[in-house]
Amino acid sequence: MRTLIGSSALTLALLGATALSALAQDTLKIGYVDPLSGGGASIGQIGMNQLNFIADEINAKGGVNGRKVEIVGYDNQTNPQISLVQVQKAIDEGIQVIVQGNGSSVAVAVSDFVTKYNDRNPGANVVHLNYAAIDPVLTNEKCSYWHFTWDASADIKMEALTNFIKEKEDLKKVYLIAQDYSFGHAVAGAAKRMLTEKRPDVEIVGEEYHPLVKITDFSPYVAKIQASGADTIITGNWGQDLALLIKAAGQAGLDVDWYTFYAGGAGAPTAIKQAGLENRVYQINEGINNQGYGPAEERAGALMQRFSDAPIYYPRMFNMMDMVFKAMVEAGSEDPGDFVPKLEGMKLDSFAAGDEGFMRADDHQFFQPLYISTLGALEEGQKFDEEHTGWGWKMAASVPTESTLLPTKCDMKRP
């Protein structure tokens, strides 16, 4: 039991070391709570890179309200509990703006924590800026005054995608494949609902849910799709679940069109190129590289040049930070208590092509123009390829902001 005393001493030493790391406050610190190690790090690092890039941009212009912006990374290991301690750590270090995106489970936890924290500590005013978690509950049942999201929710994206698909005459048989968790079900469910409504003649020949990030060999699934005679696949898969699926399909020579949310994510373009699916894979998002819009190309070009080992970025993150900085300037304060009201209803010429989007005050969802694009060999005038494949995204259709509006069930509690 002597070691018990030893362990108490250890605690003291460790906590003492922690306390020392508290620093003086002169910059505007923004906390980035996302995976920076382990399996999710490749994705988390992209956001970190982009935030740093944006901070350098604004600092070059003299900062926000005269204060320099500093991005502080907090590795949450994609674990909700660790995330909460990291958010706590950020708050203790004087941070009031938390940026987070990866994983709906983390987003729900962080949003919930921040809301309770502000409730229990009047005047604390911490805001959660979400750039990627798109589970609809975040802007519906679990919406919060202190949470804003810049990515279109699954329902919004599917609404736009099905509007595009319904014009395709030769589309007869659709196969839905999704990861077996709430988001996957949300995507497949929306697809089924909206397709039946918009194109009753289209047959849904399969609806497949496979476990999340557990499958190494997708060929059995591909064989099943093949046997079903489908001509189109709609999927919400992301990450390796998309890359492996596309690769397996390419190897089996599966001849279908793909409609995806995340074909732009890390690894997927490489897989699409290897599978030889030129202009067969569509993605819907808030913007691509090759839209020919000067300001975007300039900014994105500079970013990708700097981070040439992972030349990926999120247009929505530019939207998000541009709006937040604008709100801070308008409010003349960096305290979320002051600038959050400015964000509500704010309009912005969105990053990708300068079309207007707005932050809906009812649920803190950003509505923006969406774009449908396909991946293929670079054409004349296209500047950007993906993952050094020589293939790049090109526009297939654009969806104006007003066609993306959906009602919300959010009952916002305002302080």
Partner 1 sequence: MTDARTLPRTDAIGGRRPGFLARHAVWIALALALLLLPYLFSSRLALSTMSMMGTMIIFALSYNMLLGQTGLLSFGHAVFFGLGGFFTVHVLNAAGSGDWPIPLPLFPVVGGLGGLAFGILFGWVATKRAGTAFAMITLGIGELVVSSALILRRFFGGEEGITTDRTDVMSFFGYGFGPQLQVYYLIAAWCFLSIAAMYAITRTPFGRIANAVRDNPQRTAFIGYDTSRVRFIAFSLSGLFAGIAGGLSVVNFEIVNAAQMGAVESGSVILMTYIGGVGNFAGPIIGAILVTWLQLILSDATQIWPLYVGLLFIGMVMFVPGGIAGLLAMQAPVMAARKLHRVVPFYLLALAPGIVALVGLSVLIETSHQFSIRASYGPQLTLYSIPLDATSPLPWVAGVVLAVAGGILFMRAERLARDAYHAAVAQGGQG
Partner 2 sequence: MLEIIFVSTLNGVLYGMLLFLMASGLTVIFSMMGVLNLAHASFYMLGAFFGFEISRRLGFWPALVLAPVVVGLIGMAVERYGLRRVHRHGHVAELLFTFGLTFVIKEVVEMIWGKLPVDYRVPSGLDFAAFTLFSGNYPAFKLFGLLISVGIFIGLLMAVRHTRVGLIVQAALSHPGMVGMLGHNVDRIFMLVFGVGVGLAAVAGVIAGPILVTQSNMAGLLGPILFVVVVVGGLGSLGGALAASLLIGLVQTFAVAFNVSLADLFGGTAAGAILSVWLADIWRVTVAQIAPILPYLLLVMILIFRPRGLMGTRDT
Per CB under 8 A, 309 contacts partner 1 = yes
Contacting residues for 138 by C-beta, under 8 A, at least 6 apart? 104, 107, 108, 111, 130, 147, 149, 153
- The answer to whether 178 touches 209, Cβ cutoff 8 Å, is yes
Closer CB to partner 1, 56 or 356, in the complex: 56
223 binds, among partner 2, partner 1, none (CB under 5 to 8 A by kind): partner 2
Per CB under 8 A, the segment of 25-33, 136-144, 293-301, 383-391 that binds partner 2 is: 383-391
Which of 171, 204, 212, 252 lies at the binding interface for partner 1 (CB under 8 A)?
Answer: 212
Angle between helices 336-343 and 315-331 (to 10 degrees): 120
Per CB under 8 A, 219 contacts partner 2 = yes
Per CB under 8 A, the segment of 231-239, 248-256, 277-285, 303-311 that binds partner 1 is: 303-311
In whole angstroms, how close is the CB of 83 to partner 1 at the nearest point?
9
108 binds, among partner 2, partner 1, none (CB under 5 to 8 A by kind): partner 1
Closer CB to partner 2, 76 or 240, in the complex: 240
Per CB under 8 A, 390 contacts partner 2 = no
Closer CB to partner 2, 304 or 320, in the complex: 304
Which of 127, 165, 254, 399 lies at the binding interface for partner 2 (CB under 8 A)?
Answer: 254
Rounded CA-CA distance 209/188 in Å is 9
Which alpha helices (H) appear in 287-394, and where do they start and end? 294-306, 315-331, 336-343
In whole angstroms, how close is the CB of 129 to partner 1 at the nearest point?
19
Closer CB to partner 2, 233 or 244, in the complex: 244
Considering CB under 8 A, how many residues would be counted as binding partner 2?
41
Closer CB to partner 2, 62 or 211, in the complex: 211
Return the exposure string of 12-35: e unless at least 16 CB atoms fall within 10 Å of the residue's CB, then b.
eeeeeeeeeeeeeeebbbbbbbbb
In whole angstroms, how close is the CB of 78 to partner 1 at the nearest point?
8
**Any idea what DSSP says for residue 381?**
T
Which of 128, 157, 210, 299 lies at the binding interface for partner 2 (CB under 8 A)?
Answer: 210
CA terminus-to-terminus distance, the chain? 50
Which of 23, 25, 92, 298 lies at the binding interface for partner 1 (CB under 8 A)?
Answer: 92
What mask, x for binding partner 2 by CB under 8 A, covers residues 309 to 328?
A: xx------------------
Contacting residues for 267 by C-beta, under 8 A, at least 6 apart? 239, 240, 242, 243, 387
Cα–Cα nearest to 221, from 206, 204, 200, 199: 206
- The answer to whether 63 touches 325, Cβ cutoff 8 Å, is no
In whole angstroms, how close is the CB of 207 to partner 2 at the nearest point?
9
DSSP 139-208: GTTT--TTEEE-SPPHHHHHHHHHHHHTT-TT--EEEEEEESSHHHHHHHHHHHHHHHHH-TT-EEEEEE
In whole angstroms, how close is the CB of 6 to partner 2 at the nearest point?
22
Q: How far is CA 80 from the centre of its chain?
A: 17
> Of residues 131-170, which lie at the interface with partner 1 (CB under 8 A)?
135, 137, 142
Per CB under 8 A, the segment of 78-86, 326-334, 355-363, 393-401 that binds partner 1 is: 78-86
Angle between helices 41-60 and 294-306 (to 10 degrees): 120
82 binds, among partner 1, partner 2, none (CB under 5 to 8 A by kind): partner 1
220, with CB counted inside 10 A (0-12, 13-18, 19+), is exposed
Cα–Cα nearest to 367, from 352, 382, 356: 356
Return the exposure string of 339-353: e unless at least 16 CB atoms fall within 10 Å of the residue's CB, then b.
bbbbbbebebebbbb
In whole angstroms, how close is the CB of 75 to partner 1 at the nearest point?
4
In whole angstroms, how close is the CB of 218 to partner 1 at the nearest point?
18
Per CB under 8 A, 19 contacts partner 1 = yes
DSSP 230-269: -SEEEE---HHHHHHHHHHHHHTT---EEEES-TTSTTHH
**Any idea what DSSP says for residue 401?**
G
Q: Give the Cβ contact number of residue 144 at 10 Å.
A: 21
Q: Which residues bind partner 1 (CB under 8 A)?
A: 1-8, 10-12, 14-15, 17-19, 21-22, 36-38, 41, 49, 52, 73-75, 77-82, 84-86, 88-89, 91-92, 103-105, 108-109, 112-113, 116, 120, 135, 137, 142, 180-183, 211-212, 214, 306-310
Q: Which residues bind partner 2 (CB under 8 A)?
A: 39, 41-42, 45, 180, 208-211, 213-217, 219-224, 226-227, 229, 240, 243-244, 247, 251-254, 266-267, 270-271, 274, 309-310, 387-389
